[in-house]
Amino acid sequence: MARYIALLLLYTSVACAEILTPPYFNLALGKKITASATCGDEGSELYCKLAGANVDHDETVIQGQVCDYCDATNKTKKHPPEYAVDGMETWWQSPPLSRGMKYNEVNLTIDLGQEFHVAYVFVRMGNSPRPGLWALEKSTDYGKTFKPWQYFSDSPQDCVRYFGKESLQPITKDDSVICSTEYSKIVPLEGGEIPISLLNYRPSANKYFNSSVLQEWTRATNVRLRLLRTKNLLGHLMSVARQDPTVTRRYFYSIKDISIGGRCMCNGHADTCDPADPQSDSSILVCRCQHNTCGPQCAACCPGFEQKKWRISQSWDKFACEPCNCHNHTTECEFDASIDEQFLSLDINGRYEGGGVCKNCQHNTEGINCNKCKPTYYRPYEKRWEELDVCQPCNCNLHYSTGNCQEETGQCECRREFNPPNCDSCAYGYFDYPNCKPCTCNLNGTDGQHCTPTDGMCPCKFNYAGASCEKCADGYYSPECKNCECNSVGSVSQVCDKESGNCTCKSKYNGRTCNQCEAGYFNYPTCKHCNCDTSGTEPIICDDITGQCICKPGFGGTRCDQCLSG
Ligand SMILES: *[C@@H]1O[C@H](CO)[C@@H](O)[C@H](O)[C@H]1NC(C)=O
Ligand SMILES: *[C@@H]1O[C@H](CO)[C@@H](O)[C@H](O)[C@H]1NC(C)=O
Ligand SMILES: *[C@@H]1O[C@H](CO)[C@@H](O)[C@H](O)[C@H]1NC(C)=O
Ligand SMILES: *[C@@H]1O[C@H](CO)[C@@H](O)[C@H](O)[C@H]1NC(C)=O
Ligand SMILES: *[C@@H]1O[C@H](CO)[C@@H](O)[C@H](O)[C@H]1NC(C)=O
Ligand SMILES: *[C@@H]1O[C@H](CO)[C@@H](O)[C@H](O)[C@H]1NC(C)=O
Ligand SMILES: [Ca+2]
C-alpha cells in the first residue's frame, strides 16, 4: 500500500513539475460515510467467518466455525461504516446473508464534502473475502447522481451480463469504464486488497491538464462502493441458494479501510490546500492561491488583477493573473472580452494586451485605464497619469465655453455659437457678439452673411426667394436651387416644379426638361406624328429618329397593320 502511494506520488510529481499542484493525500480519512445496512444495526446478530484457524480472544467456535456477534450498541462489538475510513485496524461489516439474501446488495458511500481530483482508490478487506461483484461509483453533484468508475466481477461472463460487453474492452478513452476480474478471487479469505488507479493506462495520463475529459473523469464529491454479490466458496453455492443459515451467516462484506488518493482542485495555481477557517469545525479545504488568483479552487483572478482572462496554469501554458493598469487611480477592475478583442486596454507594461476595465476611477479620471480626465477637467502638460492631481479643473467662462478644455494647454472649448480658439467672435450662422444668437435668414440663400431681415426681407441670392431666402426662386429647384433648364422648344415656360425640377411640356414633348418627343412622335425638335397603327406596335410606337413603326411580334407592314405569315 505504502509502496503503491509512493509510486503514484513519484509519477505525478514528474508529470506536473512545472505547475503548482497540491500534494496527494488520503481524502477518505475521517470523512462522512454511510452504509445502506450494517451488521448489528438491528440488534445483536451472529456471524461466522469463512476462514477457520485462528480464534481471536472473543470469538467462539460453533459447529467448527469461528463465530462472533455484531451489536451496534456494544462498543466492542459494533462495526459502523466510520470504521472503514478511520485509518485503523477496525472494520465496517455488512449484515450476514442469514438476515436476508437482499443483503448481497449494500451501498457504502463516502461524502468528500467538496470537489477533489481523485487518482486512486485502495480498499483493504477485513474478515471477509473481496466482493464477488461490485461497482465503484462517483458523484460530482454532491450525491444526487452517481456514475460508474470501475466494475469488478469474478468472471468475464458476469462483466458482460451485469455491465455490458463494452466493459471488457481495453482502456481506449480517458473515461473508459472497465470491468476487472482479478480482484474478486476467493483468496485471501481475509485481508485482501483492491488497488484501483483511475489514471494509469489512460491516454492522457501523462498530460493530465491537457485533457478536460480526464480531469472530469477524476472529479468527485462522493465515492460509492455499490456491492452487489458476496464471493462464495465453490462448495457453498447450493447451500447459499437454499439459504441455509449455518452457511449464509458466513457471507457478508467486511472492509477494514478505504484510502482515496486525491488532491484539491487548484487549477495549477496553488501548491497547498488547507481548512478555510481553522477556528470553525468546517473541514472544507481551500487552495492557498498564488499567481494573483482567488477563490476556493483559484478559479478566478483576484479583484484588481483582471487584466488577462483567467485560465489554468499548465506546463506548456503558464499563467498568472496580472494587475490592471489604472494609473494609480483605482484598485478595482473587471475583465471584458470585447475590450480584449479590440486591444483597447493598456497592461502594466504599457502594451494593449488584455481586457481589464478600471472601475470607480478616482481623482477626476475616467476611461478604461483611468487615463482620461472627466469633462471640465484637463491634464496639464507637465503631469503624468499616475499622479494623484493629474486632472485639474478647466478655468473657463461658461458663457463662451462648454466648460471642457484641451489636454496639456487647458485651452477652453468654445460653445458652437463662438469661433475657436478664443471664442472672441460669433460662429457662422450666429450674430450679435457677445450674445451670438442664431441667424434668422437662411444663410445658404442669403447674399452675403446677413443674419437679420431689413424691412422684413433678407437679401436673397438670385436663385432664392422668400422673406428669409428659404425657398427657391421661380425657374430654380431644390435642394440647391439649381436652374430648371427647361427646353425652350418643348416647354411651356422656364419655371419648373420646385420639388422635382419637372418642366411643364407642350403636347408632343416629354422628359424632365421637355427635350424629347413623346411616344408616337419622332425627329426632335420637330416631333412629327408617326404613321403607325398603334394596335400593332410596341408601347414606344416608332423609332424616335426615323419614325419607323416598331411592331409587336406577329405584326408586320410599314404601319404594323398586317399579320405576318404563320
Ligand atoms: C459487550 O460485549 C462484551 C463481549 O461479548 C460483553 O462482555 C459486554 O457485557 C457487552 N456490553 C454491553 C453493554 O452489552
Ligand atoms: C445503491 O445505490 C444505487 C445507486 O448508485 C441504487 O440504485 C441502489 O438502489 C442502492 N442500493 C441500496 C441497497 O441502497
Ligand atoms: C496540449 O495541448 C496543446 C493544444 O491543445 C498542444 O499544443 C500541446 O502540445 C499539448 N501538450 C501536451 C503535453 O500534449
Ligand atoms: C500613487 O499613489 C500614491 C498614493 O495613493 C502616491 O503616494 C504615489 O506617489 C503614486 N504613484 C505615482 C507614480 O505617482
Ligand atoms: C445649406 O447648404 C448645405 C450644403 O449645401 C446643406 O447641407 C444645408 O442643409 C443647407 N441649409 C439649409 C437651411 O438649407
Ligand atoms: C417628374 O417627372 C418624372 C419623369 O420625368 C416623373 O416620373 C415624376 O413623377 C415627375 N414628378 C412630379 C412631382 O411630377
Ligand atoms: Ca478501520
DSSP, residue by residue, 64-81: TEEEEEE-TTSTTT---G
| Cβ–ligand 6 contact at 512 (below 6 Å) | yes
- Residue 316 alpha carbon to ligand 3 centre in Å: 7
| Cβ–ligand 3 contact at 210 (below 6 Å) | yes
- Residue 353 alpha carbon to ligand 1 centre in Å: 73
- Ligand 4 neighbours, Cβ below 6 Å, are 328, 386-388
Mean pLDDT, residues 86-93 taken together: 96
pLDDT tens figures, 14-26:
333 247 788 899 9
Secondary structure class of 156 (helix, strand, coil): helix
Q: Which of 316, 307, 310, 282 is nearest to 297 (CA)?
A: 310
Report pLDDT for 14. 31
Q: Which ligand is nearest to the CA of 254?
A: 7
pLDDT tens figures, 72-83:
999 999 999 999
Q: Which ligand is nearest to the CA of 385?
A: 4
Among protein residues, the one whose CA lies closest to atom 7 of ligand 1:
76
Taking only Cα atoms into account, the Rg of the chain, rounded to an integer number of angstroms, comes to 47
- Residue 107 alpha carbon to ligand 2 centre in Å: 6
Peptide linkage before 203 cis (omega within 30 of 0): no
Report pLDDT for 504. 93
When the pLDDT of each residue in the chain is averaged and rounded to a whole number, the result is: 90
In ligand 6, the atom with minimum distance to the C-alpha of 512 is 5
pLDDT tens figures, 400-446:
999 999 999 999 999 999 998 899 999 988 988 888 989 889 988 89
Output the nine-digit C-alpha cell for 104.
448481497
- Pairing mode, if any, of strands 356-359 and 521-522? unpaired
Q: Which residue has the higher pLDDT, 65 or 92?
A: 92
Given pLDDT bands bounded at 50, 70 and 90, which one contains residue 10? very low
| Cβ–ligand 6 contact at 497 (below 6 Å) | yes
Among protein residues, the one whose CA lies closest to atom 2 of ligand 4:
328
Among protein residues, the one whose CA lies closest to atom 10 of ligand 2:
107
Among protein residues, the one whose CA lies closest to atom 1 of ligand 3:
210
Contact assessment for residue 495 and residue 486, using Cβ atoms and an 8 Å cutoff: yes
Q: Is the pTM above the cut of 0.75?
A: no
pLDDT tens figures, 340-368:
999 999 999 999 999 999 999 999 999 99
Given pLDDT bands bounded at 50, 70 and 90, which one contains residue 248? very high
Q: Which residue has the higher pLDDT, 8 or 461?
A: 461
In ligand 1, the atom with minimum distance to the C-alpha of 69 is 5
Among protein residues, the one whose CA lies closest to atom 3 of ligand 5:
444
**Domains recognised in the chain with CATH numbers:** 2-264 (2.60.120.260)
Strand partners, 64: none
